[in-house]
Structure 1
Amino acid sequence: MPDIELVSEQDLARTYDGGDYDDTWTVVQQYRRVRTFAADNPTAGVATIAAATNTPTGRVDPWVAKDTTPRAVQALYTAHEHDWIGVTYDDITPLNVLVANVYAGGTIPRDKFEPEFTLRADPETASVVAALELAGVGWTETAAGPDTSQTVAPAQDGAVLGRVLAVLGAPVGAKTEIDNLSLPWYLEDAPESVRKRFVDSYLENRALTDPTTDSVQIMEDRPQTYLAELGDLIASVAGEPVTVGDRAVTLSASAARALGYGRDQ
């Protein structure tokens, strides 16, 4: 399978669309042309640079005279530093785990894009914590106490990471409010190892074991179409029966054992 770039500069930049820009990728291209022309022509004025690069003067002035940088461009710098741009199936593991954890026990708030993840496992063994470390952002605890679930978040560059996860298909905002919630698009053509890693991470957060039957359930308040999609994914990875009911996906004992659950594991 040829390497497929799963996160592009264009897609990441366009997560910043809105406000003053109709297409942030166009702004990124303008900024790069402006900075290149200004570097090659250090005595050129704002009007000359604007005309030469076909860029509105109102944008050229802050970029050149005040040395400001659009947020989308700053995000691209950060994403390149972490090797998130151009990531392929071969090196998607930490991002894949983080996307799975957004679905299974996390959220990406619409207002700030900084993901948070609820833990069921100890931080020392939680896959999401290891993934945050592998992604190069580290982690910090955001809540813990007798009446709250323990949650963690990226220690740095969280807003850019959240946008990268969104490009990969992770839901933004409250998942219960997304009528057309669907699994991330990249799983459809992903290698078996990527699909299995996603399922393993999902089950780490959501699996409810039944010691009397050795079956495993995932209880979800999600659209039925999403549950069916999730059930199909798990069944394809396990190679054993998985059933979907009202607000539940149930792994048969054989499916559970295939994925590492059961008394003989």
Structure 2
Amino acid sequence: MPPDGTLVTEADFARTYDGGAYDDAWTAVQQYRRVAAYRIDHPNAGYTAISNRLEIPLGRVRSWIDYERTPNVVAGLRVARERGWIDLTYEDDQFTALNALVANVYSGGSINSENWQPLFVLNERGFDSHCIDVLELAGVGHTVHEDADEIRGPVVRPGEDGAILGRVLHVLGTPIGKKSELEDFSLPWYLEDAPIDVRETFVYCYLANRAYTDPSSESMQIIEERSQSYREELAALIQSVAGEPVTAGDESVTISAAATRSLGHLPEHRLSPVEPE
């Protein structure tokens, strides 16, 4: 994390576009801005003159000027900034929703590796699943796809700017593609230094999707077919929030009865959209 506490920078977001139209998308953004600034002072300059003056490839300048093409990365940055997703810190209101969405991807969703669209599977609460509330809280709305998955049932996607949202979530550490195929799978990096309320929200979302109660012992379990190191990492996170024992086994994470009682006081209301005044 940068020293100023910024969680999502312009450069970080731009680099999610690397390998597409540009090998280095952040450099393209900077070049595009230089061209735009130069044209303000030299409105009659042609693309050849601008290319030579700024030492930017001729083809790029021509496409931006003659064909009036805005690079996708520039357009994406504008949307992300308008939504308050750039230069985020832990204290920003928008981060509450993004943190909850990251947790929902880890515990019941994915980000498509081809189109960057997040997808969320409804938990046992169906259309009362909090992933819907969180998408509304993020300001993107939601769409329901009833027949998207015959095995898992209905799924939910963002109603607007889903691909931009997916890129922001990836900057925050959310994996893209099928999680089961990832070898190096770990919790998002920002949790390491996160305040307690950030970790609480993440844990609540995770448990809402994955935990089940053992009536015989009043404990909870999460079945996790991941690496042992991931289960240990997850157990340590939950224990840091609960303040009571949480252990990682061969195929699951067990939350003790004491920890379960402690976690029963997690602030669910923080995930509800704010009602307009």
If the length of structure 2 is used for normalisation, what is the TM-score? 0.90
Distance 1:243 1:72 in 2: 43
Query: Is contact 2:8-2:86 (8 Å) kept?
Result: yes
Q: Deviations over 1:114-134 (max 9, x none)?
A: 000011154664221111112
Q: Which residue of 2 aligns with 1:12?
A: 13
Q: Which residue of 2 aligns with 1:215?
A: 219
Change (3 A) 1:3 1:143: farther
**Aligned Cα RMSD in Å?**
1.6
Q: Quote the offset at 1:22 in angstroms.
A: 2.3
Q: Deviations over 1:144-202 (max 9, x none)?
A: 58854221010010000000000000011111111110100000000000001000000
Distance 2:74 2:227 in 1: 36
1:203 corresponds, among 179, 185, 207, to: 207
Q: Quote the offset at 1:19 in angstroms.
A: 3.6
Q: Secondary structure at the match of 2:144?
A: strand
Does 2:174 match 1:170?
A: yes
The letter for the 2-side match of 1:163 is R
Q: Which residue of 2 aligns with 1:139?
A: 142
Q: Secondary structure at the match of 2:87?
A: coil
Q: Which residue of 1 aligns with 2:185?
A: 181
Number of corresponding residues? 260
The letter for the 2-side match of 1:16 is Y
Query: Is contact 2:121-2:152 (8 Å) kept?
Result: no
Q: Which residue of 2 aligns with 1:64?
A: 65
Change (3 A) 1:3 1:57: closer
1:127 corresponds, among 127, 130, 142, to: 130
Query: Is contact 2:135-2:142 (8 Å) kept?
Result: yes
Distance 1:146 1:118 in 2: 12
Does 2:55 match 1:51?
A: no
Q: Quote the offset at 1:3 in angstroms.
A: 6.3
Distance 1:259 1:153 in 2: 28
Q: Which residue of 2 aligns with 1:32?
A: 33
Distance 2:121 2:152 in 1: 10
Distance 1:147 1:170 in 2: 23
Q: Which runs of 5+ in 2 are unaligned?
A: 266-277
Q: Deviations over 1:209-232 (max 9, x none)?
A: 111111100001111111110000
Q: Which residue of 1 aligns with 2:162?
A: 158
1:109 corresponds, among 112, 123, 129, to: 112
Q: Which residue of 1 aligns with 2:240?
A: 236
Query: Is contact 1:183-1:229 (8 Å) kept?
Result: yes
Distance 1:65 1:81 in 2: 27
Query: Is contact 2:110-2:178 (8 Å) kept?
Result: yes
Q: Secondary structure at the match of 1:43?
A: coil
Q: Secondary structure at the match of 2:104?
A: helix
The letter for the 2-side match of 1:180 is D
Q: Secondary structure at the match of 1:156?
A: coil
The letter for the 2-side match of 1:111 is E
Q: Quote the offset at 1:39 in angstroms.
A: 2.7
Distance 1:64 1:50 in 2: 11
Query: Is contact 1:119-1:152 (8 Å) kept?
Result: yes
Q: Which residue of 1 aligns with 2:101?
A: 98
1:149 corresponds, among 129, 149, 153, to: 153
